[in-house]
Chains A and B, each alone.
Chain A
Amino acid sequence: DAGVIQSPRHEVTEMGQEVTLRCKPISGHDYLFWYRQTMMRGLELLIYFNNNVPIDDSGMPEDRFSAKMPNASFSTLKIQPSEPRDSAVYFCASSARGGSLSYTFGSGTRLTVV
């Protein structure tokens, strides 16, 4: 398996623009997580899905952020409109059911909003 695949690796956008981050989880994993990493706040869980259904979105900063998982092999995190304070590395991770909680992380998307 190729692991968790995120795209793009880097994104530079202007304030006010829409940004869409993409994630393909490991086949057979039924949990998908979106994390944000910044120097100030560390790793924050934004939202997670189980069997394509959002379970906990309490970490989503505000209404400008939205996430979807239309099928078991694809998820998106959208920011509209983007702001400079959204600049961070966004990670997607997936795990299989069974309580093992062994996340597999993607390589992340480094977002810069100017």
Chain B
Amino acid sequence: AQSVTQLGSHVSVSEGALVLLRCNYSSSVPPYLFWYVQYPNQGLQLLLKYTSAATLVKGINGFEAEFKKSETSFHLTKPSAHMSDAAEYFCAVSDKGAQKLVFGQGTRLTINP
């Protein structure tokens, strides 16, 4: 079964610093990959998705992620953190042609002033 591993349950960065959230997937066949964000007391919102087009995917709020098959990774980055980026971030995976997503355990991002 497909799965994703998010390295680091909690990441803390300073405002203006680079944000890097790590996600590795387990599959010999490149799947579909997603990043979602969850703000307190809200549902999840889609940030970006990889569906086998360009390997560098740009999302909302200045986030982007790069699909690296050789590393089975799909790390999320943002060049300059903003206070409003504080939230929980989830990586998710799905087999191509399937409709259900499997989520990672989440990474809580804290932004220090």
Contact = CB atoms under 8 A, between A and B. Distances in A.
A87 interface: no
A100 interface: yes
Contacts of A55: 99
- Interface size on B, as a range, is 20 to 34
Interface string A91-114: 101010001111101111000000
Given A42-B106, A43-B90, A100-B51, A105 B43 contact: yes
- Interface size on A, as a range, is 20 to 34
B35 interface: no
B103 A103 contact: no
Nearest to B104: A42
B103 A106 contact: no
Nearest to B90: A43
B90 to A, nearest CB: 7
A18 interface: no
Q: Which of B46, B94, B100 has the most CB of A within 10 A?
A: B100
Q: Which of A55, A102, A105 has the most CB of B within 10 A?
A: A105
B100 A48 contact: yes
Contacts of A100: 49, 51
Contacts, number: 50
Interface in B76-106: 90, 94, 96-97, 99-106
Contacts of A48: 99-100
Interface in B39-58: 41-46, 49, 51
A75 B57 CA distance: 34
B34 interface: yes
Q: Which of B32, B49, B99, B104 has the most CB of A within 10 A?
A: B99
16 contacts: A4-B43, A33-B100, A42-B103, A42-B104, A43-B90, A45-B100, A45-B101, A91-B43, A95-B99, A101-B34, A101-B49, A101-B51, A101-B94, A102-B49, A105-B44, A106-B43
Interface of A: 4, 31, 33, 42-43, 45, 48, 50, 55-56, 91, 93, 95, 99-103, 105-108
User: 6 smallest A-B Cβ distances: which pairs?
Assistant: A105-B43, A43-B103, A105-B44, A42-B105, A107-B43, A106-B43
